[in-house]
A and B are shown apart, each in its own frame.
Chain A
Amino acid sequence: MTGLFNATMPRRTHIMALAAGCILAATMAYAQDDSGPIYFAVASPLTGGSAAYGINAQRGGDLAVEAINAAGGIGGREVVLEYFDDMGTPRESAAVANRIVRDDKFCAVIGHVNSSSTLAAMPIYNEAGISVLNGSSSNPSITEQGWDNIIRMTIRGDRGAQQYSAFAINNLGHDELAIFYVNSDFGRALRDDMVAAVDALGAKVVGEETFTPNVDRDFSAQISSLRRGNPDVIMLNTDYNEGGLFLGQAQDRDFAGIDVVGPDSNLYDQFIELSQGAAEGAYLLAAFDPFADREAVKTFMSDFEEAYDSLPSQVAIFTHDLLWLAKKAIEDEGATCDTLIDTAKSINFSGAGGDYAWDEKGDVSGRTFAVIKVVDGQFVSTGQGVDETGLEALR
């Protein structure tokens, strides 16, 4: 046995090393209280099936921190991000949350991404009283639990479904809708909320079909069935692969003249590519407008492009904006790490992803989706907003 090299080390060395470690840790914890770095924990899936979200969170975060530190940090203190991998699973998210609150050095948590992760981690953050700045978790129940230490950037799922419906009915003037949705938590919730919203707006669902994600690639039977209802508009509640394939497969089925409205899970170049031209004229409603003609967006997009040679997703831009929000709240509004959430709820904030304000529960208020349209095989911003007339009854 050669592995027991420690046996030759005097016992006292261990104790001294331990003591030195404790002193060092205590000093660091003390230092962060006034002039040392200010720490944020970024929790997102860096591995597993939704790793693309985590990578976007990391990129958006790094980009923001670089700019913030170049501009003097937050209140003169250097900003340091520590990334935690929640693997997109509730179990790992709870473990990550415990690690974060035990560390006691973090000013706030930025995350998680997947709704199920946020729901699993929130009770732990709430008990510890740490502020949670959430970007992309859209499950409505997150802000319905009475947790007072969270705000989120994205529009919650049920209001999203209401806005998609309102856009098809109020903006486009249609009253017969067909719904094609992915048979998952996301798709079914969207479908249920959409049916309720369509009803409240006085329109009608004339057909609905679904498919098993990652298994079904043949949509011909669903296409024939949806066509039979003679809809004015197809609500494409899918991700970009299935959305693109659906439109491609539907092009010989007399779908010309039927509008297409979808969420921003379709907002990827593959959507246009896979549709083989059939996505022309489709409307996608996005939580932020990456193509908007605003200086802040253009700067963010070109910086991101330059640094990573890819398009940022909403996870990237929300992580980025949340850090700037923390800077603004602490520097300009006199918030501390503990009062970050209350302060944020009382202010208006303008970031690369647009303007934000929050209600008592921590949901963004007064924010509607950006309307993106496919024109000549490219996504373009229409600059339109969603006409929310008639949705008051549902809120």
Chain B
Amino acid sequence: MAYVIEQLINGLAVGSVYALIAVGYSMVYSILYLINFAHGDVITFGAFTALTMLVIGVPIPVALFLACVLGAALGMTVERIAYRPVRYANRIVPMISALGAGLVIASTAQAIWGPEVHAFPQVIPRWSFELFGQLIPFQPLIIIAIAVVLVAIATVLLDYTRLGRATKCVCQDIHAAQLMGIPINTIVPLVYAIGGFLGVAGAILYVTYFNAVYIQMGLLATFKAWSAAMLGGVGNFHGAFVGGLLLGIAEAFSVVVVGSAFKDGVSLVFIVLILLLKPDGLFGERTTARS
């Protein structure tokens, strides 16, 4: 039993990291029906920036907050440069321009920080404590808590503010929203900014928990987060969060049940099964794609 709880904590911790990154994808998708291919590279850049600031001695909270803000700014820049000029073009066009933007960001990061895996300072200490005779690691719990708080704040922002309501209008019909006087060129960049902010927060938790920051993490995070978003229902904010948690738990328990050689395979089979039963994801609503 204690072992099952420990694995549940493992799964929830890595799942909340996936979830934070997935939320960013899902928000952008819900507005423009486009996968933001630059997201993974934006969050990698944010994580490396956090590393550099910590190394030169910027206080931890300041460094982490600034890195998240940089993620938001980068997200907005990507929107301005790679998406807005081609917003109404064929869907292939923004996909390619976003891939290009991602490539530029990733290459810049590689030019600055090199291709090696770097250790990340432990901003959340790796303590553990005993509970009912079971050793409970402290760091995963904090990671879960931070993820929940960040998503709660984003929920309030989206559900109870004018900004949130405007965002929902844009989601429903971008053209009608524009005609109703909603400043879409403010709302859309803000969505990218929130996605970038949460994404870098997720990336910092990711590198803290895995204890490593490296260039290819963007690709891996994209893959995991996109799986999580599919699982929860693409375009659904809370669905992406729950999807991330479930993906993490599925990974941890595939080690328990089938063995670690099949960890990635099993979790993907799990996703395929759910999508077979619910093609729009767990919380997805049946939608028809706009052309």
B127 within 8 A of A: yes
Complex alpha-carbon distance, A348 and B133, angstroms: 59
Chain B contacts for A254, CB-based, 8 A: 128, 135
Chain B contacts for A276, CB-based, 8 A: 119, 122, 211
Complex alpha-carbon distance, A244 and B119, angstroms: 9
Binds A, one of B137-145, B161-169, B238-246: B137-145
Which residues 224-263 of A sit at the B interface, judged by CB distance below 8 A?
A: 224-225, 228, 241, 244-245, 248-249, 251-254
Chain B contacts for A32, CB-based, 8 A: none
B261 within 8 A of A: yes
A221 within 8 A of B: yes
The answer on a CB contact under 8 Å between B117 and A228 is: no
Complex alpha-carbon distance, A273 and B211, angstroms: 10
What are the interface flags for A74-101 relative to B under an 8 Å C-beta threshold, 1 for contact and 0 otherwise?
Answer: 0000000000000000000000000000
The answer on a CB contact under 8 Å between A221 and B252 is: yes
A214 within 8 A of B: yes
B77 within 8 A of A: no
Given contacts A183-B261, A210-B260, A228-B3, contact A220 B140 (CB under 8 A): yes
Complex alpha-carbon distance, A1 and B128, angstroms: 78
Complex alpha-carbon distance, A390 and B122, angstroms: 44
The answer on a CB contact under 8 Å between B263 and A216 is: yes
A212 within 8 A of B: yes
Which residues 185-225 of A sit at the B interface, judged by CB distance below 8 A?
A: 209-212, 214-218, 220-222, 224-225
* B210 → A minimal CB distance (Å): 5
Given contacts A210-B261, A221-B260, contact A248 B255 (CB under 8 A): no
Which residues 182-239 of B sit at the A interface, judged by CB distance below 8 A?
A: 209-212, 216-217, 220
A274 within 8 A of B: yes
What are the interface flags for B249-273 relative to A under an 8 Å C-beta threshold, 1 for contact and 0 otherwise?
Answer: 0011101100111011000000000
- Of listed A218, A222, A254, residue having the most chain B CB within 10 A: A218
The answer on a CB contact under 8 Å between A252 and B119 is: no
Given contacts A225-B255, A273-B119, contact A252 B128 (CB under 8 A): yes
Chain A contacts for B140, CB-based, 8 A: 220
A270 within 8 A of B: yes
Which residue of chain A has its CB nearest to the CB of B11?
A221
Chain B contacts for A222, CB-based, 8 A: 255, 260
Which residue of chain A has its CB nearest to the CB of B129?
A252
* A223 → B minimal CB distance (Å): 8
The answer on a CB contact under 8 Å between B119 and A220 is: no
Task: Name A209's contact: one of B10, B13, B260 (CB within 8 Å).
Answer: B260
What is the size, in residues, of chain A's interface with B at 8 Å between Cβ atoms? Answer: 29
Task: Name A225's contact: one of B11, B137, B251, B260 (CB within 8 Å).
Answer: B260
Which residues 1-44 of B sit at the A interface, judged by CB distance below 8 A?
A: 3, 6-7, 10-11, 13-14
B116 within 8 A of A: yes
Which residues 96-130 of B sit at the A interface, judged by CB distance below 8 A?
A: 116-117, 119, 122, 126-128
Chain B contacts for A218, CB-based, 8 A: 14, 209-210, 251
The answer on a CB contact under 8 Å between A220 and B117 is: no
* B27 → A minimal CB distance (Å): 24
Chain A contacts for B253, CB-based, 8 A: 221
Task: Name B10's contact: one of A214, A220, A228 (CB within 8 Å).
Answer: A220
The answer on a CB contact under 8 Å between A224 and B220 is: no
Given contacts A216-B264, A217-B210, A251-B126, contact A225 B220 (CB under 8 A): no
Complex alpha-carbon distance, A212 and B139, angstroms: 24
* B206 → A minimal CB distance (Å): 9
Complex alpha-carbon distance, A8 and B139, angstroms: 78
Which residue of chain A has its CB nearest to the CB of B248?
A218
Chain B contacts for A253, CB-based, 8 A: 128, 135, 137
Given contacts A214-B216, A215-B264, A252-B138, contact A220 B128 (CB under 8 A): no
The answer on a CB contact under 8 Å between B220 and A215 is: yes
Given contacts A210-B261, A217-B217, A228-B3, contact A248 B252 (CB under 8 A): no
Which residue of chain A has its CB nearest to the CB of B3?
A228
Which residue of chain A has its CB nearest to the CB of B5?
A224
Which residue of chain A has its CB nearest to the CB of B2?
A228
The answer on a CB contact under 8 Å between A224 and B7 is: yes
Complex alpha-carbon distance, A249 and B143, angstroms: 14
Which residue of chain A has its CB nearest to the CB of B6?
A224
Chain A contacts for B263, CB-based, 8 A: 211-212, 216, 221
What are the interface flags for A311-343 relative to B under an 8 Å C-beta threshold, 1 for contact and 0 otherwise?
Answer: 000000000000000000000000000000000
* B228 → A minimal CB distance (Å): 14
Other A-B contacts than A228-B3, A245-B212, 15 sampled, CB-CB below 8 A, are A211-B263, A216-B264, A217-B210, A217-B212, A218-B251, A220-B252, A221-B251, A224-B3, A225-B255, A245-B211, A252-B127, A252-B137, A254-B135, A274-B119, A276-B122
24 contacts between A and B (CB under 8 A): A211-B260, A211-B263, A212-B263, A215-B220, A216-B263, A216-B264, A218-B14, A218-B210, A220-B140, A220-B252, A221-B7, A221-B11, A222-B260, A224-B6, A224-B10, A225-B255, A225-B260, A245-B117, A248-B119, A252-B137, A253-B128, A270-B117, A274-B119, A274-B212
